[in-house]
Structure formats: structure tokens, C-alpha cells
Amino acid sequence: MTNKQRTDLIERHLREHKYADLRTLAERFCGSVSTVRRALDQLEARGIVRRHHGGASLVETDALAQEYDFIARNQRNPDEKFIVASLVAEHIRPGMTVIIDGGSTTFAVARLVVDKQLQVITNSLPIASLFGEIGSVETIVTGGSIYRRLGVLLGPLCEQSFANMHADLAILGGIGITEDGVWGQNALIVSAQRRMMAAADRTIFALDNTKFGRKALTLAAPFESRFTIITDVRPPPEVECAIEAAGAKLTLAEKKLRS
């Protein structure tokens, strides 16, 4: 197989599946990981895919698709996400069992804890791929049906997986946060998140300031005492008061440069 043939096949695969990790592409198209990286570099230069750690995703041009595309989200507000993720990572200690939700901010958290001795449970294919390629994390991936735009597993099999597990900590994201609680856009995602919260002793919501005041389709969870909300700047007074009234904890990340 020539390099051009391999690159064309990788492009076709990504157009069909939207996301793929390096190892899968190397095995499927009979190449080394370095060969696949070079092919992805060419596709990225042509504006077809977007590279990220451990794989690549198809660049969506449709505006609605961009709202749900994992990699598109990962490129938004990178400084805010890194600031929040850094503080979340400080709560994760070696030896813990941690549930990590799918999403761009939680992916940033995952990148910061790859060298810790952890047991991670996730429904996120990008996060599972990250831990599978580097680091020392023992990774458990739930079952479920693939929601391609975010690269997460959802549905009854996913929820059943969490129903039979226990974790010290769950790290979750969200679409918005108001005085009512944390909101989610997709009912299946929210249903899985509720199972994650039920399975964990404590839950941390990692939310940057762009989520303030935003409501979405479903209220994922009202505030409760087991919750910690970590964000980069102080939220509106009504949100802060609601967090305090519920006995939840609000933690503001320090403004610091990306290392």
C-alpha cells in the first residue's frame, strides 16, 4: 500500500466515523503509528481533520455540528479550561478510583493526571484513548452506544455499567449553570451523568465562566452538599448564594499561565 492510498483510506474512515485514535488507524491500515501521524498531518494541512493527542477528528463545517463536536469544543476558551482543569487535577490523588465524564474540560483534566496511579472509569473514547497510549492509569470503559460528535458512550448499557460501580470521585462537565443547578443539552448524556453522580462519593463539576447563566434542555442536577463547583471566576451572586445554601462548595481557580 502506498502512502497516498493509506492517507486516502484514513480520510475515508474519518469521514465515516468522525473520530479515530492513532492505534486503531495503524492496525486497520497496516502502518506504524508514526506513518499514521504523517498521514494525519497531511489531512490537517488540507483542513480535513483536526489533530489532537492520541488521534484525530473530522473538521465539521456545519454550525450545529460544531456545537456538539468534541474537538471544536476543545479549541474554545483553552486558557479558561486549563485553569479550571489544573485545580480539578489537584483533587485527584494517587490510588483513587475516579469517574471522568466526556467533554473538553474533563479531557483537559485527564491530560493532567496521566502519570498518576489511578483507576479511571469513563464513557469517553478520547479519554480512554489518551490513557491507553500514555501514562499509568488503569482504565475501565463503559458499554453503550457511541454518540459520535462527542465520542462518548451512552444509553442503557452505559448506565448499567455505572450502576454496578463505585468511585471516590466523579469529574463532570456541563452546558450551563444557574441558581437551579447544572444543565445538560442532551437527555442521554444527562441520564449517564446522573448515574456517575450516584456511583461516586463526591462530584466535581468543572465549568468555566462561559457556562454562567446558561440553561439547556435538561437540569442535570440541583446543587447538593456532595458537590464542588470549580470555575475560573466568581459566578453571578444568585448562583453563588444557591451553591452556598445547598451546602455545596465553590472553588475559584487561580489565574495562571499555561505551563
Question: How do residues 165-198 score in pLDDT, each as one tens digit?
Answer: 999 999 999 999 999 999 998 899 999 999 999 9
Q: Which CATH class is domain 73-252?
A: alpha beta
Domain with CATH 3.40.50.1360 in the chain: 73-252
For the segment(s) 3-59, the CATH number from 3.60.20.10, 1.20.1250.20, 1.20.1090.10, 1.10.10.10 is 1.10.10.10
- How high is the mean pLDDT of the chain? 86
Residue predicted with more confidence, 61 or 249: 249
pTM for this predicted structure? 0.71
The radius of gyration of the chain's CA atoms, rounded to the nearest angstrom, is 18
Domain with CATH 1.10.10.10 in the chain: 3-59
pLDDT value of position 144:
95
The model's pLDDT over 129-169, given as tens digits with 9 standing for 90+, comes to 888 877 789 999 999 999 877 889 999 999 999 998 999 99
The model's pLDDT over 54-88, given as tens digits with 9 standing for 90+, comes to 778 777 543 333 444 555 555 555 667 788 988 99
Q: Decide: 57 and 14 in contact? Cβ < 8 Å.
A: yes
Cell of 230: 470549580
CA–CA dist 103, 20 (Å, integer): 16
177 bridge partner residues: 182, 212
CA–CA dist 21, 128 (Å, integer): 10
